[in-house]
Amino acid sequence: MSNKGHCGYVAIVGRPNVGKSTLLNHLLGQKLSITSRKPQTTRHRLLGIKTEGNTQIIYVDTPGLHQGKHNAMNRYLNRAATSSMEGVDVIVWLVETLQWTEEDNYVLKALAQTSVPVILGVNK
């Protein structure tokens, strides 16, 4: 029997206000990330660590990806979100059940640029 540990990184991505931070808090069993109805509340990537036995998952909460590139803040948030998809083991792409938007298409295009496996998460 081996005591070898396992560790992996999981990025949670999606458009603004789709529930990424709420999902992170639920997965961790505690409120680590701020949640709000206001879009773009998460402005920096946030790491949350869940340990079960000898297995550890590091979740990466990301700012929402959005098409708005007209100002420096929007460009910064998009760079923060896309850079969080690099170097992870898997990406959870969170979407809303009945509300597909152009921003979801934008996220889909960003995900097509990565070779990281993607799991689709459906919320609300």
pTM of the model: 0.86
> To which residue do tokens 């990330």 refer?
33
The set of residues, in sequence order, having a beta carbon less than 8 Å from that of 5 and lying 6+ positions away, is: 54, 55, 56
Q: Mean pLDDT, to the nearest integer, of 5-24?
A: 93
Mean of all residue pLDDT scores within the chain: 88
**pLDDT tens digits, residue range 41-52?**
666 778 999 999
**pLDDT tens digits, residue range 98-119?**
999 999 999 999 999 999 999 9
Give me the domains of the chain, ranges plus CATH numbers.
6-123 (3.40.50.300)
Distance, in Å, from the CA atom of 106 to the CA atom of 78, rounded to the nearest integer, reads 11
